[in-house]
Amino acid sequence: MRILITGGAGFIGSHLCDRLLADGHTVIAMDNLITGNTDNIAHLAGDRRFSFIFHDVTQYIYVEGPLDAVLHFASPASPVDYLNYPIQTLKVGALGTHKALGLAKAKAARFLLASTSEVYGDPLVHPQTEDYWGNVNPIGPRGVYDEAKRFAEALTLAYQRTHGLETRIVRIFNTYGPRMRINDGRVVPNFIYQALHSQPLTVYGDGSQTRSFCYVSDLVEGVVRLLHSEEPEPVNIGNPAEMTILQFAETINRLTGNPAGIVRRPLPVDDPQQRRPDISKAQRVLGGWTPATPLEQGLASTVADFRQRLGLL
């Protein structure tokens, strides 16, 4: 297959490039590098089946030649990013999705949208199933990301119903691994950075809020299976093993040998109290897919990657 990945220089996008190239496909990565980084794909420069296009997907997208699939992963994806780039976040979810869908329609390509667990907001249903409509504050500070992705899902299904476009939607839950931005602002890079600098880990609120953490290779496996599946409706991909933020902080401190402990700060506005995917649909429609990487194994790889990039080896 010849595949375009928007956001291909980002954390998840770059791992998708690796996987699809390893599977024998030709891959075009497209990114405007607002939050992506060419360091993530520099190792692919010598691969004749890989190319990179610097482009803002909110503008008309031109790709020469045929395409078999368009994977739309372009978007700021952390609270730090979408609070710094609120308008860009809304534009890439709306205009960027529109342009990417238009390209897929013109090329008769399958379209896969990277959506998010944030469409569920601060959920009143736990764990979250795909038929839950969510509890989102549309005008809160996080609303620019939540509503951008909710609109992107609606537009994707409108193209499916109106134009017969083959579409897939993955709702991504917390994912971690090598190549996460060090200043990403999310809990995994925050904790690892602080721990490696012997600083106390910043826990917001009382730390009882829960998250589940999926290693990036497990997520990519699920995305690839979804791309090749016949499932047109949204599918949760994530790890259902739930833990409190306080437990997670204690795990990071133990793995890194950080003696500095924990410091508490006020809880941010609209921060979800619970987040855990129900993955029964993914297991059913994606050939029994389930996360395979134990948390401590995945964290060890991630910590090693951070040590190298921070020059702390």
Catalytic positions: 145
d(CA 59, CA 51) in angstroms, rounded, equals: 19
Report which residue type is found at 204.
Answer: Y
Q: Is 132 exposed, middle or buried (0-12, 13-18, 19+ CB in 10 A)?
A: middle
In contact, 122 and 135? CB cutoff 8 Å: yes
d(CA 92, CA 132) in angstroms, rounded, equals: 24
In contact, 110 and 159? CB cutoff 8 Å: no
d(CA 120, CA 272) in angstroms, rounded, equals: 9
Helix, strand, coil percent values for the chain (each to nearest 5): 40, 20, 40
d(CA 179, CA 96) in angstroms, rounded, equals: 24
In contact, 211 and 173? CB cutoff 8 Å: no
In contact, 310 and 182? CB cutoff 8 Å: yes
The residue written with tokens 């296009």 in the block is: 53
| Number of CB atoms found within 10 A of residue 159's CB | 20
Q: What is the largest CA-CA distance in the chain?
A: 58
d(CA 270, CA 257) in angstroms, rounded, equals: 32
Peptide bond into 127 cis (omega under 30): yes
d(CA 81, CA 255) in angstroms, rounded, equals: 28
